[in-house]
DNA sequence: CCACAGACTGGAAGCGCTTCCAGTTCGCCG
DNA sequence: CGGCGAACTGGAAGCGCTTCCAGTCTGTGG
């Protein structure tokens, strides 16, 4: 049955010969394309098994002009941005969707200059069948690069500026509004916000949602207190807020990491949460549930985010024209507010 | 200067023509190979710039028989294993090292059957220049697959069974021993262990280290209380331990997630940490520092783990024969023990 | 001034697969 | 039993790049 291959790597020619057909028939049989009789189809299958043949993906890619891979580009100027568990979940979702389309996932961490150059090359040289771009900053050179790309590009989260043709995003404004409204509904009137980086669209949109909700409630929005989405920056921002506005009674943090940081600062400052100060986060990562007290937060469907991004890309690769997608958020109430 | 390309995608032929050289010279110039005069080299460079030429990686791959990519395979039967921040850090390290060698990173989450099949295909069809395998379970079909692979394979963490030819690992036994010794040195005598899955080598090795240290100290090691490396399994294991051995005064958890889970159960059970029960974890992930109380833990150089794995693979791809590597661990004392 | 290394050059043969297309074979109806 | 499509087949032409190799050109020492 299982015979060790005569050559280190059998090629299609040998399969064809063994099956007693021409190379083209063998090829068609392999890709189960039409115009191959049942008998020859089986003969080819047998030969493949006997030889342990596996088609060479590179050769196939050259002939079909499809690489069979999709790139997921995570920009950000610091590779540590990738340490955010957010991305892991996105990847799980995207990977599953790509697997369905039988595409491989190339992961590009484009923090360094060198990394960006490589991404540009990839985009322009058709090194993949499509790309997903995430975590772009304002004026990120990746945006114009994407336009010159020789392949479909899907954005994960809109970049700052005009919305791209294809993207998946989360309802940042709506989520932030809901979080703020919730704080207000709990009787909080001096609600500050710890924003994410304001050179990202997510950072801005979440602040907009907060401001809208505050204004709608007839309250004064605080000026943005900027952090960079890390725990320590959240702690620092909270400390700054506490000195400037010692009387605040609510805080909305643009993500859970910063929310947890805020929690820490508040604890150290002797403020009770939620009695003295209520805190709401954004993301609903594992850390929110484990925080002390467990963090009320805006849940976003991260896995779906990755999945839909990949599906949109697959649709594009298949020549369809999908429409942009904005995923809903949902408030998860725990003990911090 | 920048002229829009005449054809959607200029090819090497056109570059050569424009530069007034033959295709082979153009190719050599591009790859800065020898046997090209300075003048022609420059002419080619100029033509490349003028045409906006980017070589087609697929064609190059077919000709050179190098894909320019390395695969990172994360096995595990559940894709959620990948949510562990551990992997994100490994990826950052590996990615940086691969970038230096100008290799792309293909990420394969091989949880499903389908995923494993795809990995097998990749391995056997030379879909990459090499592969890094992580999180293999006992009797994982990926191990024999790796042997049949047509490319170099580096293991990240030894699989259960005979050690593979090339691997990077962490000193699990030593780290666990140190953690246990530390607990003993703090006067703890009834030290239990919450093990990771015992069908992984890391899980087993850490238990061995614990047992060795206990025996060496003349104490009775507890039988393994197994968890699956998640927070909730740690909490559950701790609860079980508490009912069976209400008098224990120390716990070593095989990773931080489970350590944090143990912390939670202990708090809920009204045991003070570290006064009543001391707890030590393993990994030194962010969660350890944020835990309450901050978790004493065994630090492992995760970033270096990824980096060294990638470097080893690059060495193999370049025809060298690197030696396996075991990375040291280091105890980080915080408040939990 | 000639012969000869040694540096360059470019034609041509692949790398392994897909796919067009012209040609063949077969089944079936009249 | 002849003829006509439909179904099937395989030769051949690529996909875009690298690289071997035979041939050309230069400069130099004798």
CA B170 → C1' C14, Å? 46
Is the predicted pLDDT of residue B314 greater than 80, yes or no?
A: yes
Give tens-digit pLDDT for A112-137: 889 999 999 999 999 999 999 999 98
The SS3 assignment for B140 reads: coil
Partners of residue B290 in chain A, C-beta under 8 Å: 231, 260, 264, 287
Question: Cβ of A11 < 7 Å from strand C?
Answer: yes
Give tens-digit pLDDT for B209-230: 999 999 999 999 999 999 999 9
Nearest to A62 among B62, B79, B127 (CB): B62
- pLDDT for residue A283: 96
Is the predicted pLDDT of residue A75 greater than 50, yes or no?
A: yes
Distance from CA of A314 to the nearest CA of B (A): 17
For residue A100, name the pLDDT band (cuts at 50, 70, 90): very high
Give tens-digit pLDDT for B147-162: 989 999 999 999 999 9
CA–CA separation, A94 vs A72, rounded Å? 9
CA–CA separation, B94 vs A324, rounded Å? 33
Is the predicted pLDDT of residue A3 greater than 50, yes or no?
A: no
Distance from CA of A212 to the nearest CA of B (A): 33
Q: Which two tokens stand for residue A323?
A: 């429409």
For residue A32, name the pLDDT band (cuts at 50, 70, 90): confident
Q: Which of B301, B294, B196 is nearest to B254 (CA)?
A: B196
Mean pLDDT, chain B, integer: 93
Q: Which nucleotides of D are covered by protein (CB under 7 A)?
A: 7-12, 14-20
Is the predicted pLDDT of residue B272 greater than 80, yes or no?
A: yes
Nearest to B126 among A56, A85, A114 (CB): A56
CA–CA separation, A298 vs A255, rounded Å? 9
- pLDDT for residue B222: 97
Helix H or strand E encompassing A155? strand A153-156
- pLDDT for residue A174: 98
Nearest CA in chain A to B82: A88
- pLDDT for residue B1: 41
Is the predicted pLDDT of residue B175 greater than 50, yes or no?
A: yes
CA A16 → C1' D11, Å? 14
| pTM attached to this predicted model | 0.93
Give tens-digit pLDDT for B289-306: 988 899 999 999 999 999
Mind spelling out the 3-state secondary structure of B163-231?
CCCCEEEECHHHHHHHHHHHHHHCCCCCEEEEECCCCCHHHHHHHHHHHHHHHHCCCCCCCCEECCCCH
For residue A171, name the pLDDT band (cuts at 50, 70, 90): very high
Interval B267-290 mean pLDDT: 95
Interval B189-196 mean pLDDT: 97
Interval A271-285 mean pLDDT: 97
The SS3 assignment for A87 reads: helix
């Amino acid at each position: 049955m299982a015979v060790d291959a005569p050559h280190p790597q059998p090629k299609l020619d040998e399969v064809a010969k063994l099956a007693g057909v021409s190379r083209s028939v063998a090829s068609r049989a392999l890709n189960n394309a039409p115009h191959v009789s049942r008998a020859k189809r089986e003969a080819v299958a047998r030969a493949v098994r006997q030889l342990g043949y596996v088609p060479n993906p590179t050769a196939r890619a050259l002939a079909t002009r499809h690489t069979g891979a999709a790139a997921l580009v995570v920009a950000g100027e610091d590779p540590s941005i990738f340490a955010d568990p957010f991305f892991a979940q996105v990847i799980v979702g995207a990977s599953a969707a790509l697997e369905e389309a039988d595409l491989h996932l190339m992961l590009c961490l484009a923090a360094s200059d060198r990394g960006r150059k490589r991404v540009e090359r990839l985009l322009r040289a058709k090194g993949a069948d499509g790309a997903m771009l995430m975590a772009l900053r304002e004026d990120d050179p990746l945006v114009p690069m994407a336009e010159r790309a020789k392949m479909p590009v899907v954005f994960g989260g809109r970049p700052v500026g005009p919305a791209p043709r294809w993207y998946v995003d989360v309802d940042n404004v709506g989520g932030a509004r809901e979080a703020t409204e919730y704080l207000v509904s709990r009787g909080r009137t001096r609600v500050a916000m710890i924003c994410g980086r304001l050179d990202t669209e997510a950072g801005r949109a979440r602040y907009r949602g907060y401001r809208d909700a505050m204004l709608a409630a007839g309250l004064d929005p605080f000026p943005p207190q900027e952090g960079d989405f890390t725990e320590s920056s959240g702690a620092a921002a909270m400390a700054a807020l506490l000195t400037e506005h010692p009387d605040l009674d609510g805080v909305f943090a643009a993500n859970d990491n910063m929310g947890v940081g805020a929690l820490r600062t508040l604890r150290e400052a002797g403020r009770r949460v939620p009695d003295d100060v209520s805190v709401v986060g954004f993301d609903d990562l594992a850390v929110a549930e484990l925080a002390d007290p467990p963090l009320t937060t805006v849940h976003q469907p991260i896995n779906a985010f990755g999945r839909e991004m990949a599906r949109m890309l697959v649709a594009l690769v298949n020549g369809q024209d999908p429409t942009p997608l904005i995923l809903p958020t949902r408030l998860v109430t725990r003990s911090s507010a």
